[in-house]
Chains A and B, each alone.
Chain A
């Protein structure tokens, strides 16, 4: 979406070498003054296979577009561009080995690596403290590193069109994230922690492998755009078919916790203390119960964010437990099937 319209007013600041079939970068015709004054440099649509070291001669460069070349590597000298704020390198042949070791030292605010061959987000990229916008769409990413949370200035994260199968909860630690694109991946579930993204305005999840969403998504009150098409979302009432009754250990643990029976490491073996400390509270506010390993996946259909009857899931401590009342004004629809089905009957999961 970056256009030349927002360019600096003075034409002298912009150097356009795009679409010149360049194999190399010859700066013979570029004066000393020009090298000093150029703030925006367009080198897109050429035939460069590496970014030449001479790029560092433009020491005041703020914007560099090297998209649509055949780049397999970016030279170390790029780190000498200490004022570089925007780097566009779409549609090249870059992968996680193409970047210099100190790439993370650049003051980048916008970075676009879409249409390359990254299988991993290189760690250097996670060190870009000022980064506001990161696009690595249309690559071969299999996962998102937990270090993503180090990009504390990030507002826009575009990872559509990859091979990502899971979203790490660390994504939720990006306080300014307002646009998150994960469409066209292989994501099977959305971590409930994403509820912490208070500024999230647009979430793109279309064409993935989601069968339901976490109920916590209802707290994203600023969410205005939510795309979910092309997911096998459950459409009918579901009861988890493989509910295993709780073990003796679990029953004992539940009793200890729900009756507030005090315990301490001097009374119990450490493994049991650890076990008891891991109890999860049942989200039903009327239920004081807890669960450990044995719980029921409960799905409720709720209208949310312009969508009709989204399957939202949360865990309950037992099939008899009732789901918490939703105080969210956006949700109003309730599955009419729920009340008519006896609790002991198990139904098949029906996929949308």
Chain B
């Protein structure tokens, strides 16, 4: 079958299984993936084991390595935690809210000539279960949990997987390549991977 009919995944495991099926093909239908991820209704007891928080900054917790076609991970954002402005190294990025809310600010790529503040394109607050999509041709973004009282948890899919990305200084457009690390993999804490955070905001 070329087109898979959208069957709502009842559990996280079903979602992962369906993602494996979809990603067997070399061509990604962005809408299909977005709809599939959006139709999974977040059930905390299914992903709680991956949701490991760090006091100081947001964490990246690997859930599934997707046969090398994609990486699926859960990000945990404490109150006030945010990312730097970053790109996605030529990959697709899907982001689903499992709990709480996240603010996404889109930025234009800084052009070589202009110095000074990076240009904001738009901003929105993503609600629970919603899925946002971005890739480098759309632009750059910063993701933040702006709540001072609630944590946020998000499910991210990147295809193809990538280990480094560029971060951008908002005041100057100056960029920096950083290596991304995992706080945990498959529910197990992976401490020796973590080095000094290079991703600042």
Stretch from B26-34, B78-86, B157-165 forming part of the interface with A: B78-86
Q: State how many angstroms separate the Cβ of B1 from the closest Cβ of chain A.
A: 41
Name which residue of chain B comes closest to A136, CB basis: B148
Residue interface bits B48-67, CB-to-A below 8 A is 1, else 0: 10000101110000000000
**Contact present for B200 and A227 (CB under 8 Å):** yes
Chain A residues contacting B146 (CB-CB under 8 Å) are 184
Name which residue of chain A comes closest to B197, CB basis: A224
Name which residue of chain B comes closest to A207, CB basis: B146
Name which residue of chain B comes closest to A4, CB basis: B48
**Contact present for A115 and B171 (CB under 8 Å):** no
Q: A183-B80, A204-B80, A225-B197 are in contact. Are A308 and B56 (CB under 8 A)?
A: no
What are 25 residue pairs bridging A and B, where the CB atoms are less than 8 Å apart in the complex?
A: A1-B79, A3-B53, A114-B149, A115-B148, A135-B79, A137-B149, A138-B149, A156-B55, A158-B80, A181-B79, A184-B146, A184-B148, A201-B56, A225-B57, A225-B197, A226-B200, A228-B201, A229-B201, A306-B199, A306-B200, A308-B171, A308-B172, A308-B174, A352-B117, A352-B171
| B contact set with A: CB distance below 8 Å | 48, 53, 55-57, 78-80, 82, 116-117, 142, 146-149, 151, 169-172, 174, 176, 196-201
**Contact present for B56 and A179 (CB under 8 Å):** yes
Q: State how many angstroms separate the Cβ of A124 from the closest Cβ of chain B.
A: 22
Residue interface bits A190-219, CB-to-B below 8 A is 1, else 0: 000000000001101010000000000000
Given B56, B80, B172, B197, which contacts A306 in the complex, CB threshold below 8 Å? B197
Name which residue of chain B comes closest to A90, CB basis: B149
Interface centre among B53, B80, B146, B199 (most CB of A within 10 A): B80
Q: A224-B197, A226-B200 are in contact. Are A160 and B56 (CB under 8 A)?
A: no
Chain B residues contacting A233 (CB-CB under 8 Å) are 171
Besides A1-B79, A158-B79, A305-B200, 5 other A-B contacts (C-beta < 8 A): A158-B80, A184-B146, A235-B172, A306-B197, A306-B199
Determine the distance from Cα of A183 to Cα of B199 in the docked complex, in whole angstroms: 18
Q: What's the interface size class on A, roughly?
A: 35 or more
Chain A residues contacting B151 (CB-CB under 8 Å) are 1
CB within 8 Å of B: which A167-196 residues: 178-179, 181, 183-184
Q: A1-B55, A160-B80, A235-B172 are in contact. Are A225 and B200 (CB under 8 A)?
A: yes
Chain A residues contacting B196 (CB-CB under 8 Å) are 224
Determine the distance from Cα of A5 to Cα of B198 in the docked complex, in whole angstroms: 30
Chain A residues contacting B82 (CB-CB under 8 Å) are 206, 227, 229
**Contact present for A235 and B197 (CB under 8 Å):** no
**Contact present for B57 and A202 (CB under 8 Å):** yes
Name which residue of chain B comes closest to A227, CB basis: B201
Name which residue of chain A comes closest to B147, CB basis: A138
Q: State how many angstroms separate the Cβ of B151 from the closest Cβ of chain A.
A: 6
| A contact set with B: CB distance below 8 Å | 1, 3, 5, 90-91, 114-115, 135, 137-138, 156, 158, 160-161, 178-179, 181, 183-184, 201-202, 204, 206, 224-229, 233, 235, 305-309, 352
Determine the distance from Cα of A352 to Cα of B115 in the docked complex, in whole angstroms: 11
Chain B residues contacting A114 (CB-CB under 8 Å) are 79, 148-149
Q: State how many angstroms separate the Cβ of B196 from the closest Cβ of chain A.
A: 5
Chain A residues contacting B149 (CB-CB under 8 Å) are 90-91, 114-115, 137-138
Q: State how many angstroms separate the Cβ of B53 from the closest Cβ of chain A.
A: 5
**Contact present for A137 and B79 (CB under 8 Å):** yes
Chain A residues contacting B169 (CB-CB under 8 Å) are 307-308
Chain B residues contacting A184 (CB-CB under 8 Å) are 80, 146, 148
Q: State how many angstroms separate the Cβ of A188 from the closest Cβ of chain B.
A: 18
Interface centre among B79, B82, B151, B170 (most CB of A within 10 A): B79
**Contact present for A225 and B80 (CB under 8 Å):** no
Given A137, A161, A225, A228, which contacts B56 in the complex, CB threshold below 8 Å? A225
Chain B residues contacting A181 (CB-CB under 8 Å) are 79-80
Determine the distance from Cα of A227 to Cα of B80 in the docked complex, in whole angstroms: 10
Given B53, B57, B142, B172, which contacts A309 in the complex, CB threshold below 8 Å? B172
Chain A residues contacting B48 (CB-CB under 8 Å) are 5
**Contact present for B198 and A137 (CB under 8 Å):** no
Determine the distance from Cα of A202 to Cα of B65 in the docked complex, in whole angstroms: 31
Determine the distance from Cα of A286 to Cα of B55 in the docked complex, in whole angstroms: 42
Q: State how many angstroms separate the Cβ of A244 from the closest Cβ of chain B.
A: 30
**Contact present for A229 and B170 (CB under 8 Å):** yes
Determine the distance from Cα of A334 to Cα of B65 in the docked complex, in whole angstroms: 43
Chain B residues contacting A90 (CB-CB under 8 Å) are 149
Q: State how many angstroms separate the Cβ of B157 from the closest Cβ of chain A.
A: 25
Name which residue of chain B comes closest to A202, CB basis: B56
Q: State how many angstroms separate the Cβ of A333 from the closest Cβ of chain B.
A: 10
**Contact present for A160 and B172 (CB under 8 Å):** no
Determine the distance from Cα of A139 to Cα of B22 in the docked complex, in whole angstroms: 47
Q: Which 4 A-B pairs have the closest CB atoms?
A: A137-B148, A138-B148, A306-B200, A161-B148
Q: State how many angstroms separate the Cβ of B114 from the closest Cβ of chain A.
A: 13
Given B79, B116, B199, which contacts A160 in the complex, CB threshold below 8 Å? B79
Determine the distance from Cα of A229 to Cα of B56 in the docked complex, in whole angstroms: 17
